[in-house]
Amino acid sequence: MPRIALNFEDGVTRFVECVTNERLVDAAYRARLNIPMDCRDGVCGTCKCHCESGSYDMDSYIDEALTEDEAAQGFVLACQMRPRSDCVVNIPATSALCKSGALTFATQLTDVRRLSDSTIGFTLALEEPDSLSFLPGQYVKVSVPGTEQSRAYSFSSRLNDGRIDFLVRNIPGGLMSTYLSEQATPGDQLTIHGPSGAFYLRDLNRPAMFLAGGTGLAPFLAMLDHLREKGDSTPPIRLLYGVTRDADMVEVGRLEEFAGALPNFTFDVCVADTASTADRKGFVTDHLGPEDFHGGDTDVYLCGPPPMVEAVRKHFDIIGIKPASFHYEKFNASEAA
C-alpha cells in the first residue's frame, strides 16, 4: 500500500496510505486531512500540488488546471492522482488550513548514553510502535520532563522496532542538556511532537555531499540508516563531518559501519582545534574545493550550528559553486531559551 508523505507549508508532515488505485484526495480525506480542492474533476486546479518523488498515474484533467509543462515538472492534481509507490507530495497550504497539524506521540526513555563530554545520545520507545512515520532528516519537538518546554531534535536513526535515537550537544546549563546529563532515567515519559522540517533526503540521482557540523551529524545518521535499510545502490555520497575538538568526534564507529554496508559512501572528519591529532585539521570549509562538486552536478545537504551553515553558504560563493540542489538545516537555539 503506497505511503504518501504530505508536506505542508508550515513544515509539518503527515502520512496517508492509499489503498489500491485510490486517488490521493480520497486517501487524505479518509485520514481527515482536507487538502484544498473544489471541483474534484480536474478542472479548477485548486488541488494542485508538487510530487517530489515516487510514481503515480493521473486521471483526466484539462490544461487550464494543469499545463503540460507543470506536469513535466512533477506538479499533480490531488483529485486525479493515483499513487503507485510511496510518494512525497508538497501541499501549498499550511497544515492548519487543511484541518491537520503535527501529532503528539507518547514515548518512554529507554537509554541515555554519554558519548563524549560534549555529546549525549538517547533512545525513545514509542508507546504505539507503528504510530509514527517520518522522512529521514526530519525532526520532532521533544518535551523536557518536569517543564512546560520542548526542544527540537533531528532523528539520528530510522524507526527501528518502535525505537528512535537522538544525538544532542551537551550545553552547560541548557534545559534539555541538564535533564539529559543529570536527571534522565530509563522509564521517564517524554512526548514528541511532529515530525517536521524540509531537510530530508530526496531521491538520489547524482553525487551527494553531506556536510555536518557537530551534532548536525544526527540527520545524516538517519539518512544513512534509511539508505542501508533500503539496500539500493546509490550514486557516490561523501560526508564531511566537522567538529571543534577531538573529544567532540562521536559515532565514528557507526559511520564506518555505513561505509562497509554502502559501497558508494565515504566520509572524512575534520577537527578545528590546531592541537588535534586528526589528519584533517581546520574547518569544513578548509577542505572543500570546486573539484569536490562535479562541476556543480552535486546535491548538497548541510546541517549544523548557524555560524557553520552560514560559513559554508558563503564558501560556495567564494569557490564559485552552485550545486544542483542545496538543502540545509540550522540547529537554532529555541525561542524559549
**Interacting residues toward ligand FAD by CB under 6 A:** 139, 151-154, 167-169, 171, 173-177, 197, 215, 218, 305, 329, 331-334, 337
Q: Provide DSSP, 225-279.
A: HHHHHH----S-EEEEEEESSGGG---HHHHHHHHHH-TTEEEEEEE--TT--SS
Q: Among ligand FAD, ligand FES, none, what binds residue 42 when CB lies within 5 to 8 Å by partner kind?
A: ligand FES
Q: Which is nearer to ligand FAD, 19 or 337 (CB)?
A: 337
Asked whether 132 and 15 are in contact (CB, 8 A), the reply is no
Q: Which of residues 45-74 bind ligand FES (CB under 6 A)?
A: 45-47, 65
User: Which grid coordinates are listed for 40?
Assistant: 474534484
Q: Among ligand FAD, ligand FES, none, what binds residue 45 when CB lies within 5 to 8 Å by partner kind?
A: ligand FES
Q: At which residue does the C-alpha cell 585539521 appear?
A: 281
278 phi/psi in degrees, rounded to 5: -70, 155
- Minimum distance from residue 67 beta carbon to ligand FES (Å): 13
- Minimum distance from residue 169 beta carbon to ligand FAD (Å): 4
Please state, in angstroms and rounded to a whole number, the distance separating the CA atoms of residues 142 and 157: 15
Please state, in angstroms and rounded to a whole number, the distance separating the CA atoms of residues 222 and 197: 14
Per rule CB under 6 A, count of chain residues that contact ligand FES = 13
* Region binding ligand FES by CB under 6 A among candidate stretches 31-39, 124-132, 180-188, 205-213: 31-39
Q: Does 43 bind ligand FES (CB under 6 A)?
A: yes
- Minimum distance from residue 38 beta carbon to ligand FES (Å): 5
Beta strands in the chain, from DSSP E residues, in sequence order = 3-7, 13-17, 48-53, 56-58, 75-77, 81-83, 87-90, 103-116, 119-126, 139-143, 150-154, 163-169, 189-196, 208-213, 237-243, 265-271, 299-304, 325-330
- Minimum distance from residue 214 beta carbon to ligand FAD (Å): 7
Please state, in angstroms and rounded to a whole number, the distance separating the CA atoms of residues 118 and 273: 15
Question: Hey, what's the torsion of the CAs at 210, 214, 217, 218, to 10 degrees?
Answer: -150
Q: Which is nearer to ligand FAD, 37 or 303 (CB)?
A: 303
Q: Among ligand FES, ligand FAD, none, what binds residue 44 when CB lies within 5 to 8 Å by partner kind?
A: ligand FES
Q: Among ligand FAD, ligand FES, none, what binds residue 37 when CB lies within 5 to 8 Å by partner kind?
A: ligand FES
Out of 44, 71, 93, 261, the only residue in the binding site for ligand FES (CB under 6 A) is: 44
Asked whether 199 and 301 are in contact (CB, 8 A), the reply is yes
Q: Which is nearer to ligand FAD, 183 or 332 (CB)?
A: 332
Site residues (vs ligand FES, CB under 6 A): 37-40, 42-47, 65, 77, 79
